[in-house]
Structure 1
Amino acid sequence: MNLPDIDNIKTPWAIDDKSILSQLHADSESGLSSTEAARRLSFVGYNKIESSKRVSPFRILINQFISPFVLLLTVAAGLSFFFEEWLDGFAIIAVIVINAIIGFFMEFQAERSMEALKKLTSVPARVVRDSKIIEIPSEEVVPGDILFVEGGDMITADARVIQASQFQTDESALTGESLPVEKNTKALQQDVSLAERHNMLYKGTFVTKGNGRAIVVHTGMTTELGAVARLVQQASQAATPLEKKIQQFSKKLIWITVGLLIIIFIAGILNGQKIVQMLETSIALAVAAIPEGLPIVATLALAFGMLRMAKYNVIVKKLSAVETLGGTNVIVTDKTGTLTQNKIEAAYMQVYNAASRINVDVSKASIRFIDNNTLIDTPAHIELHRIAALCNTAAYHYDGQSEKESGDPLEVGLLKMVFSSAIKPEDHQKQFPKVDEIPFSSDTKIMATLHKNNQDYYIAAKGAVEELLTFCSSVMEGNEIVALTDDKRKQWLINAEKQAQSGLRILAFAFRLTKEKEKDFLHHLTLAGLIGFIDPPRPEVPAAIEECKSAGIKVVMITGDHPATAKNIAIQLGLAKEEDEVMHGNAMKPYDQLTDADKEKWLHTPVFARVSPEHKLSLITLFQEKKMIVGMTGDGVNDAPALKKADIGIAMGQRGTQVAQEVADMVLKDDAFSSIVLAIKQGRMIFDNIRKFVIFLLSCNLSELLIVATASVLNLHFQLFPLQILFINLVTDVLPALALGVTEAAPHIMQRKPYSSETSIINKKRWSAIFVYSSIIAVTNIGAVFVSHELLHDMEGWNKELCNNILFYSLIFSQILHVFNMSFEKGVAFHKTEVFRNKYVWFAVVGCIILSMISYWIIPVRNVLDVTIYGWRDWIIVIAASFLSLFLIQLVKRMRWVI
């Protein structure tokens, strides 16, 4: 037998069940033979998701050494070894190694999304082989296999339904559709969207109710889940804004350093200095110019922010994501499970032509009618509750602390509604034991049950409004049962359609009392009313969205759900207004076909519905094209490509699939959208703190460069040695910078707009401030040497060792005190600034002073650094020069000459 032409079965949902069986050379009762299944497996391959090539640990380690900073440090270390400055060289190498180790361990767990996809589908499958239902590994399922699935099963391949019995599936992880999907065998149109293919089963989704058989049409990477996996592999993760800014900053610093080195080298040669001596001076300049502590401090500051966020249920997987979220100005969020609770609850009730909104609150065992509180005691309301409890196969129990539920989510929602009233579901069920049932089917769209109450019988029915009304001859109005006229029937249908358009799923409920047990009891029913269902919004989300708006962050809903449902939720959350349009996925062109008008419309649309993974990627690409920093939240398999493409992907921890969690940069453990606001605040704070310690490090290091350059060009009698410069940087840079990295946020931080993605870490205004700060420090420290020489040691001539020591210690203490200049709040007293109030800054200052004095007290260290000061008067000059630099910088800041 030839292999069936599987590749040409592009739209199996449009082919009737008999034809699809014929095309795949399969039999619904006997299935494939073991021999034929093995033959097909050899042709089509295993039913598994292929993973992209993972990044090896060795490659992750190598990547830690690829950066401009590491290049500069490596050159400086090489020059140190060339001129036999062994201590300098080994000290620089130690800095490189420490930074690489930290980065390696922080990134070791990345790039595991394909492994998660494989775990998601590594389950057994039940198939019909040789006329028997057997269980096989899901990897061995082939096209033409007859799958048998029932409630609770995961579907292991894409398949066309050929038999269905009360068959429903949960496809929310793939389509975003919150409600279970009723499955049937009817052929559909070819252009039906994924979420509306009611005769198809998809790999990775779940059966929530009933059972059925389906013939496998696609396996492995040809499934819809495989298509998502391919998108995940293809979606590229662009460098984060922080990484881009540090790269830009590094390049500028390299050119500035190289330029100064050339100028100083030429000036030295013109002054008659030897070439070898000038090369040694270049080592000192290179060490002075490079902020060795910047990579380590940036990494540790981000790590601290990551740990702090973990306390608030925000798990950050990539360090750079901490700052990236702080700069986010667009959040593209999924609806189901992110903005909503991913539960089906009663949200609307209509009895005797009077509509009423309801809000079920199980925790308080009450039901509140927003529009009309008097409805709670009406006979129609009582009958509606009785029908909801009796015509129901689900189970629900609440003991005041925890909930237990099973069965169809919609029926569970009905039981919750009944549980919130005085008469509980089990009370109704005990009073009216069930004796017969007409199960729900996709043909009738109705379910009915027969119950006995003493000598009488009670019929309860629920179903689609237009279908159930055909079995109703009367309607309950007030305390009376009146005839259901054509006009009244029409009005009920109009009201139901109106509510359906607002995003509710509407069901009708009817009943009848009879004296005799009837075999065919679905007739002459009395309409009790309608109930509308919705996936309710999370209560904390509106406040979080409002805070996002005040912070200048645009929130966009993108969902696979119905447009009316999406808009209804968006209006409740404050995301959209009544006049706003919802963009339907069918109206979204491929990205490369978008006109400028299309792009403009997309940018101003708050809600996108019935979208596919490709649509999500296109929208994110558009925002990124407009230089926006995009955060994407999601929980389903269908969200994975967009989560990876976004500047920062945010997955849900409780409801999120493993695929979404693995591919995302951040995971919200509590699934709370409000946690994103906290993370944004932390991210903004960290970016501000990064700016603080970068300015601190650069102004300190530039002061060293200016001192070395001045001494070299002017051929002064004193100079700093390379090892001394490295000691100064390691002692005074890291601890103060780390302390700045944990400074608390300014109170107004969430009232300003996000920084543009084009905003550099150090702009022109801040470069000017850095130059002013470093110049003041350099001038006061060189001045201290001259004061010491003129006032204390003039008769002894120039003492190069003493001059070096005065310069060495005055520079250390000036840089330690310079940390207090890193507050940029305007109009705030010096002692009330966030830096001055930061206890860690004080710990750092004390620690730096102790470390610097160790170089004087411990003789071996003092000998290595070649330092000694003769008397207490020299120490006074050192301390005076340090405080003078602090005073002068505060003066120029208060005069608003610099920031």
Structure 2
Amino acid sequence: MTNKKMLLSRKKKVDKYWALSGETIINLYSTDATKGLTKEEAATRLMQYGSNSIATVKSGQPLLILLRQFTNPFILLLAIATIFSFFFKEWLDAFAILIVMILNIMIGFWMEYQAHRSMEALKKMSVVSVRVIRDGKMMEIKSELLVPGDLLFAESGDMVTADARIINFNQLQVDESTLSGESFPVDKHQHELPENTPLAERNNMLYKGTFVTKGNCLTVVVNTGMETELGKLAGIVQQAEQVATPLEKKVRYLSKKLIGITLGLIVIIFTGSIFYGTPITTVLKTAIALFVAAIPEGLPVVTTLVLSFGMLRMVKHNVIVKKLSAVETLGETEVICTDKTGTLTQNKIEVSLIQVENLSAHVMVNAAGTSMHWTENNSISGTTAYAHLCRISALCNTASYQPDGNKTHASGDPLEIALLKMIYASGIKPEDYQQQFIKTDEIPFSSETRIMATCHKSQDGDEFYYVAAKGAVEDILKHCTSVLDESGERHMDDEEREAWKGIATQHAQSGFRMLAFAYRETSKQEGSFLYNLTLAGIIGFTDPPRAGVMEAIKACKKAGIRVIMITGDHPETAKHIAVQLGIATPGEDVIIGSDMKPSDQLTVLDRKQWLKASVFARVSPEQKQHLVTVLQDAKKIVAMTGDGVNDAPALKKADIGIAMGLRGTQVAREAADMILKDDAFTAIVSAIRQGRIIFENIRKFVIFLLSGNLSELLVIAICALFNLPFQLFPLQILFINFMTDTMPALALGVSNSGDQIMQRKPYSPNTPIIDKKRWAAIFIYSFVITATTLGAVVTSHLMLHRNDEWNNLVYNNILFYTLIFSQLCQVLNMTFKREIAFHKTDVFRNKVVWYSITCCIIISLVAYWVSPVKSALGITVISWAEWGIISLYSILTAVIVRVLKKMRLTI
């Protein structure tokens, strides 16, 4: 029997993995306990079990998208117009409206389908990776490629992506709230449990969709994809309806408002027409024309497409936005709460200062970590304290660093990598320490204790245990009872402890990030070993600011956005960087985490101090959440950065949660609304700028669509009320809308606004797409287009046909083409700049706008020359003089509006 068949038969017999030992599970899945699966076997099992993903009903399936087009209220109105046309035996209009309705459905389908494809592309960019052991090597793979039998390694901050049986663990805690509803992390172990153990108590298992909050473990994957516990619940997830974003709701409200305006005009025209004695059939035909004219068919779909296009454009700025609603909120952001290390700084941390008892020296380690330059007191390198600093740095460390000529191989925390480089530069190999002292226990670093400690057993003949600890100076000193000097270890009293804190503070004021290093030698293994430590010394690290951060912070201030630095660093280090970058002033106070009370215990004075402060130091993740609460209580829209597993609550609490793509944990990335691929603060500012641009672009094309459609309504209404004989036909209105409602609107949606976009205060979340100012502008624009369009007809009559009878078809054609070209010229006015010169605006410089205008003009002229289209649209021969009048009044539309803008009579 082949391994594949054996595995299948065994799996059918066993599904209660928690009741089996780790060894049994390993044998059951034919997995090597140390080397894992081979790549070939993993590929075979992937074919057998399929991708490790949850099958969901996709809202982006083509058939569903197509069916959704028929629920669009504008399409329903067109359908009503088609039915009326058939009823009155207006066969040409009926079929034309039907064709245009189908074309709009197809265009809507295509645009929405493209938007969904864009969203799928974004999802692929934020795929979760996992670490597995295959062929005896630890490697990183996409979570979809996990198969039963894989040896899966998980540690604090990782998201669990398959169901797995724990076979080895270290201080492991897992957040299972997504599966069991339990709000507190669960302690895990590797021992067998009774077969009847309920899901919430299977503490030797990891389940897909949960998060590791503490420690690490090695597991065997037992179920993937739909076979996982989460997969079995997938049906519930699939039934959840997608909630419309606030912007989509605003667009829907706007659409309903427009339909209301149309119905109001129809009532007025209907009443007026009866007064004139117009036949009821003519009145109903006019009503059909009004319905057709009022419908901005592209409005909802263009909005979605512009949002998704904006999200893809943000990717170029190293920002992955996970939700459409986040794009809207970005433009409204008023406060950015940002971490320091790696976001404001380069995260290229280097050892720059070493302080032992009575001696300190500035040092410089070269980029390859092969040499170290001491600027003073190079005698430190020969002291016992420095030897202990190197040993502690090597042992209390989870990073890896290997110099290889001009190339280096490094992974892990940048600060720990810097320590390994220091050791290499001293002519010592960290692995020599690690082979001499085997780790027996570990206290992982946490944001609460700010200490990492390890216990090691010596492999020399004289057997003993060595405790190594590093962390924040004040926290390490709490566990120190002695200090190492030239003569050996001596007792440390409270006065000397305060003196060491003072030394650390003094160095921190110069911008160094300070860590203390301590040790203890003992003859026996102890369960609790973090006590009676001996201070070996302190090390200062430098991390230069990122390029462009200072300019980005200035841009934020101009845009009315406050930047608040939140860091776990020493207050003086934080203040030094904040002043250097322009976040804080030299006289500004720093709020320290130890002085921060929970948000519900703050006094009014406390809240005022928090709201004024720009720097928060020694802050815990929980305190981040309290700060967000205070800012939101003050009606601020808050963006919060985070990278750790404990940052997830603050990221969820913030209006925009921003996770780090390079150093962020999977938990943080899952909780966030957007991910910075390069961890840079400048990317946040670029994303906010893009968010503002998207909102302004949506405003532009909505104003353009509504002003164009309202001008059509006014032209039809005026012709009907004054019983003018050159009324537009429904088919002509459909053609006008087809020309102006899609391509120009899309082109406006991808405009790239100028610098002025970041020179205004953020809008309130309650700001409508069209406020009173913009409604006034829409009416002004539509009145100008209506006036110039009717003016073209009057001018033609007075200049060319004064002594002739009214040639209704010629006047109708002048009305038709002037309305098209006036709306196309009006595209160039869709900017919020007030310059009289067109070429200085962002819309004028948008190539896509020119492509769309040119394309629409060509299609309009082709309709004049192609006989079947010409006949259907009722187009007759137009003289060159009449074409000149059409062109003149179309251009005049844009000029008049531009003058009104310059005179500040409209926006």
Same fold flag (TM > 0.5): yes
Report the CA distance between 1:626 and its aligned residue. 6.0
1:88 matched residue in structure 2: 97
- State how 1:58-73 maps to structure 2 within 5 Å: 69=74, 72=77
Report the CA distance between 1:580 and its aligned residue. 2.3
- State how 1:667-816 maps to structure 2 within 5 Å: 667-816=675-824
- State how 1:33-432 maps to structure 2 within 5 Å: 69=74, 72=77, 75-76=80-81, 79-80=84-85, 82-83=87-88, 85-104=94-113, 106-107=115-116, 167=170, 240-319=245-324, 321-331=326-336, 349-353=354-358, 362=367, 373-379=375-381, 384=386, 387-389=389-391, 392-393=394-395, 395-399=400-404, 402-405=407-410, 412-419=417-424, 421=425, 423-426=426-429
Report the CA distance between 1:396 and its aligned residue. 2.1
Q: Kindly tell me: are residues 81 and 691 of structure 1, through their superposed partners in 2, closer, same or farther at Cα, counting changes over 3 Å?
A: farther
Report the CA distance between 1:294 and its aligned residue. 2.7
Q: Are the counterparts in 1 of residues 175 and 213 from structure 2 also a CA contact under 8 Å? A: no
Look up the equivalent residue of 2:100 and give its one-letter code: A
Report the CA distance between 1:789 and its aligned residue. 2.5
Of 507, 530, 535, which residue of structure 1 is paired with 2:537?
A: 530
Q: Are the counterparts in 2 of residues 305 and 682 from structure 1 also a CA contact under 8 Å? A: yes
Percent of residue pairs bearing the same amino acid type? 43
Report the CA distance between 1:273 and its aligned residue. 1.5
Unaligned runs of 5+ in 1: 1-24, 35-48, 125-136, 141-146, 175-180, 186-198, 214-222, 512-517
Report the CA distance between 1:728 and its aligned residue. 1.2
Write the deviation string for residues 635-676 of structure 1: whole angstroms up to 9, x where unpaired: 566666766676555444444555655665543333333212
User: SS in structure 2 opposite 1:506?
Assistant: strand
Q: Kindly tell me: are residues 412 and 202 of structure 1, through their superposed partners in 2, closer, same or farther at Cα, counting changes over 3 Å?
A: farther
Report the CA distance between 1:271 and its aligned residue. 1.5
1:893 matched residue in structure 2: 901
User: SS in structure 1 opposite 2:394?
Assistant: coil
User: SS in structure 2 opposite 1:531?
Assistant: strand
User: SS in structure 2 opposite 1:350?
Assistant: strand
CA distance in 2, matches of 1:496, 1:313: 40
1:836 matched residue in structure 2: 844
1:191 matched residue in structure 2: none
Unaligned runs of 5+ in 2: 1-17, 28-51, 134-145, 178-184, 190-202, 220-228, 444-451, 471-475
Of 594, 598, 601, which residue of structure 2 is paired with 1:587?
A: 598
User: SS in structure 2 opposite 1:748?
Assistant: helix
Q: Kindly tell me: are residues 80 and 810 of structure 1, through their superposed partners in 2, closer, same or farther at Cα, counting changes over 3 Å?
A: same
Q: Kindly tell me: are residues 772 and 645 of structure 1, through their superposed partners in 2, closer, same or farther at Cα, counting changes over 3 Å?
A: same
2:516 matched residue in structure 1: 506
Q: Are the counterparts in 2 of residues 507 and 530 from structure 1 also a CA contact under 8 Å? A: yes
CA distance in 2, matches of 1:315, 1:387: 41
Look up the equivalent residue of 2:867 and give its one-letter code: I
Report the CA distance between 1:736 and its aligned residue. 2.8
Q: Are the counterparts in 2 of residues 389 and 415 from structure 1 also a CA contact under 8 Å? A: no
Write the deviation string for residues 335-368 of structure 1: whole angstroms up to 9, x where unpaired: 7876688899757632224566878663586768
Report the CA distance between 1:798 and its aligned residue. 1.6
Look up the equivalent residue of 2:103 and give its one-letter code: A
Q: Kindly tell me: are residues 346 and 211 of structure 1, through their superposed partners in 2, closer, same or farther at Cα, counting changes over 3 Å?
A: farther
User: SS in structure 2 opposite 1:837?
Assistant: coil
CA distance in 1, matches of 2:407, 2:320: 26
Q: Kindly tell me: are residues 283 and 519 of structure 1, through their superposed partners in 2, closer, same or farther at Cα, counting changes over 3 Å?
A: closer
Report the CA distance between 1:813 and its aligned residue. 1.8
- State how 1:540-551 maps to structure 2 within 5 Å: 542-543=549-550, 544-545=552-553, 547-551=555-559
1:854 matched residue in structure 2: 862
- State how 1:861-872 maps to structure 2 within 5 Å: 861-872=869-880
- State how 1:430-469 maps to structure 2 within 5 Å: 462-463=468-469
CA distance in 1, matches of 2:812, 2:439: 98
2:8 matched residue in structure 1: none
Look up the equivalent residue of 1:675 and give its one-letter code: A
Report the CA distance between 1:854 and its aligned residue. 0.5
CA distance in 2, matches of 1:759, 1:651: 27
Report the CA distance between 1:853 and its aligned residue. 0.4
Report the CA distance between 1:713 and its aligned residue. 0.3
TM-score, with normalisation over the residues of structure 1?
0.69
Report the CA distance between 1:807 and its aligned residue. 0.9
CA distance in 2, matches of 1:440, 1:404: 27
CA distance in 2, matches of 1:234, 1:573: 48
Look up the equivalent residue of 1:416 and give its one-letter code: K
Write the deviation string for residues 711-750 of structure 1: whole angstroms up to 9, x where unpaired: 0000011111111111112213433333333333222322
CA distance in 2, matches of 1:29, 1:336: 40
User: SS in structure 2 opposite 1:425?
Assistant: coil
Q: Kindly tell me: are residues 51 and 467 of structure 1, through their superposed partners in 2, closer, same or farther at Cα, counting changes over 3 Å?
A: same
CA distance in 2, matches of 1:435, 1:121: 31
Q: Are the counterparts in 1 of residues 118 and 308 from structure 2 also a CA contact under 8 Å? A: no
Look up the equivalent residue of 2:537 and give its one-letter code: L
Report the CA distance between 1:117 and its aligned residue. 14
TM-score, with normalisation over the residues of structure 2?
0.69
- State how 1:607-622 maps to structure 2 within 5 Å: 607=616, 609-611=619-621, 616=625
Q: Are the counterparts in 1 of residues 75 and 101 from structure 2 also a CA contact under 8 Å? A: no
Moved more, 105-114 or 699-708: 105-114
Look up the equivalent residue of 1:853 and give its one-letter code: L
Q: Are the counterparts in 2 of residues 342 and 536 from structure 1 also a CA contact under 8 Å? A: yes
CA distance in 2, matches of 1:580, 1:817: 56
